[in-house]
Amino acid sequence: MTLGQFKLRMERRAKDVEPRLNSILQKAALAIQQKLAELTPKKTGFAAVNWQISTRARPTGTIPAPGKERAVLTAMAQGKMALVGSKAVKRIYITNNVHYIRLLNQGSSHQHPGGFVEISLLVAKRFFATGRIIAR
């Protein structure tokens, strides 16, 4: 391989890095959001549906509860919509603005012992450990 061929090969690989990284970040964000929504205790679904994703700024406000049966699907739909068309993501915010979300994560509900935020972060770890940014 000549130096010129090597240079072209490296330039092609460099072009692939950003889209691959973007894809890994988006998949990780959606997986985290899904796990958070699934593990969040559900009386009305209000806390679960309010795991919001944004790439622009930290989400503010809350989303009305669609009912506990549809909370996870509604949260996932919001997350996917927030990521549609995001090509060069620098940050992804996953936020819950429900005032009692910390108490739920500390185990205040009999439905879940708490720690669902920490469990969900393990999902992200898996994506970053197994995600290939540079193709072989």
Is residue 18 assigned to a domain? no
Neighbour tally for 78: CB within 10 Å: 20
What pLDDT digit, counting tens, does each position of 18-41 carry? 888 888 889 889 999 999 999 999
**For residues 63 and 52, is the Cβ–Cβ distance under 8 A?**
yes
**Residue 60 falls within a domain, yes or no?**
yes
Note down the domain range covering 116: 26-129
Output the pTM of the full model: 0.85
Number of domains in the chain: 1
Q: What is the pLDDT of residue 86?
A: 79
Q: What sections of the chain are H helices per DSSP? A: 3-39, 46-49, 71-83, 101-105, 116-130
Residue 84 lies in a domain: yes
